[in-house]
Amino acid sequence: MKVWDLMGRRRWLYLATGLVVVACVASMAIQPALGRPVLNWGVDFTGGTLITLRFQDRSVTTGAVRAALQPLGLGEAVIQKVQETGDVSIRTRHLEPEERRRLEEHLRQRVGPFTVLSVDDVGPKIGRELRNVAVLGVVLGLALQVVYVSLRFQSVRFAIAADVALLHDLLVVLGVFALTRATVDSSFVAVLLTVVGYSINDTIVVFDRIRENLQLRTREPFPHLVNRSLLEALVRSINTGLTTLLAIGSVYLFGGPTIRDFAFGLAVAVLTGGWSSIGLAAPLLVDMTAWAERRAARAAAHPAAQLARAAAGGRRPRP
C-alpha cells in the first residue's frame, strides 16, 4: 500500500491554508471599500429595534412598507422580506415603546393587518456588553485550553500549534461571515465558542495519536511519525466531522430561517476545525520540532563556543 506522505508536502498544506487565510482577510478588508461594515452586525451588537411581521397579504412589498415609514422619520430603516415565508423584517434605531406603538398603528392603517412574529429591542449598552463578553469569552476560553493542553501533553509546542490552528479557525469564521453577510448576533458568540471547542477537540484527537505513537519509542523520524499518526486518525476525523455535519446540515435545511445563520456558522466551524488540525497544526508541530532539534544540534556541535560563552558570562571583565 502506498503511504500518503502529507508531511513531506508540508509546503502545499501551508500554501492551501495560506490561500484560505488570504481570501478571508481579503473578504474582510474589501467590505469597507464596498461601503459597509466588515461584519453584518445584528441589533444584538449595535443596539436597535428589529420587528418581524407577517402581513395577512403576503405579497406586501418592502417599498410599500418603506413609504409608510417615511412620515415617521424612519425612512432609513432596513426593510427586508424573507423569501420563503413572505415575512417582513424592519430594522430601525432603538425605539421607545411609544414610538413603536405609533409605528405599528401606522403600518396597520397604511399597509394592512399583520401579526407581530417577533420584536428584538436592544439598548446600545447591551450591545457593548455583548461585544465585551464575546471577546473576553474567546480570550479566556483560549487561555484556559492552552494551559490544559500544555499540562496534558507536557509540551508548549503542542499547545502553540493547537492555538495557531485555532486562531486560523476564528479568522476563517469571521472571513466567511464577512463574505456571506450572514447576521452576526448573540448566537454568533456561541458559534465562536463552538469553533474554539471543536477546533481544539479535533486537534487534540490528532495530537493524542502522535503522543501515543511517541510513547512506543520507535526510532522513526518525527515527520514520519506525525504523518503516520495523521493518517491513522484521519478516518476518525472524517467520520466525526461527517456525522456532526449531517446533524448540523439537517438543522440548516429544516430548522427554519431563525436558526439558519447559526447552523451555517456551526458548519463552517466544523469544517475549518477539521481541516486546520491536518493542514496547519500538524505541519507546524513538525517544523517547530525540527527547528528545536537544529538548535539543540548546533549547541551540541560547538561545545567550545558554549564554554567560552559561559565563561564570559561568569567572569565579567571589570571596568
Partner 1 sequence: MRSHTIRILVLVALTLAAFQVVFQPVRMDGWRPTLQPPQPRLRLGLDLQGGTRIVLEAERRPGVEVTPDKVDAAMRVIENRIDALGVAEPVLQRQGQDRIIVEFPGLQDPQRARELIGRTALLEFVDTDQQSLPKGAEWLPDNRRVRLPSGQVVNLPKKVVVTGADLRDARAEFDQQSLQWFVRFRFGGEGARRFEDHTARSVGEYLTIVLDNRVLSSPVIRARIPGEGVIEGNFTAEEARDLAILLRGGALPVPVRPVEERTVGPTLGRDSIDRSLRAGWIAVAAVVLFVSLYYRMPGVLACVSLSLYALLLLAVFSALGATLTLPGIAGVILSVGIAVDGNVIIFEKMKEELRAGKTLRAAIAAGWRRGIVTILDSNVTTLIGAAVLLWLGTGPIRGFAVTLVLGVLASLFTAVVATRWLVELCADMGLGDRLAQMARLPARPEVAA
Interface with partner 1 (CB under 8 A)? 52, 54, 97, 101, 115-123, 125-126, 133, 136-137, 140-141, 144-145, 148-149, 152, 186-187, 189-190, 193-194, 196-198, 200-202, 204-205, 208-209, 212, 232-233, 235-236, 239-240, 242-244, 246-251, 253-256, 258-259, 262-263, 266, 270
Per-residue CA distances from 139 to 132, 136, 155, 179 (Å):
11, 5, 21, 24
Residue 175 C-beta: closest distance to partner 1, Å: 21
Q: Which CB, 28 or 281, lies closer to partner 1? A: 281
Report DSSP state, residue 37: -
Q: Which amino acid is at 190?
A: A
| Cβ proximity of 203 and 276 under 8 Å | yes
Per-residue CA distances from 227 to 207, 208, 210, 231 (Å):
11, 13, 9, 6
Q: Which CB, 200 or 286, lies closer to partner 1? A: 200
What is the C-alpha end-to-end distance of the chain, expressed in Å?
69
Residue 87 C-beta: closest distance to partner 1, Å: 9
Q: Which CB, 179 or 190, lies closer to partner 1? A: 190
Residue 116 C-beta: closest distance to partner 1, Å: 5
Residue 257 C-beta: closest distance to partner 1, Å: 9
| Cβ proximity of 237 and 277 under 8 Å | yes
Per-residue CA distances from 161 to 69, 166, 184, 277 (Å):
53, 9, 28, 9
Residue 275 C-beta: closest distance to partner 1, Å: 16
Bridging pattern class, strands 114-122 and 88-92 = unpaired
| Cβ proximity of 121 and 49 under 8 Å | yes
- C-alpha to C-alpha distance for 56 and 108, rounded to whole angstroms: 11
Q: Is 184 helix (H, G, I), strand (E, B) or coil?
A: strand
Q: Which CB, 48 or 223, lies closer to partner 1? A: 48
Residue 74 C-beta: closest distance to partner 1, Å: 18
Q: Which CB, 25 or 72, lies closer to partner 1? A: 72
Per-residue CA distances from 245 to 117, 238, 258, 262 (Å):
30, 10, 19, 13
Q: Which CB, 121 or 220, lies closer to partner 1? A: 121
Q: Which CB, 159 or 284, lies closer to partner 1? A: 159
Q: Which CB, 135 or 307, lies closer to partner 1? A: 135
Q: Which amino acid is at 307?
A: L
Residue 156 C-beta: closest distance to partner 1, Å: 16
Residue 123 C-beta: closest distance to partner 1, Å: 4
Q: Which amino acid is at 247?
A: A
Which sign does the torsion angle of CA 174, 139, 163, 205 carry? negative
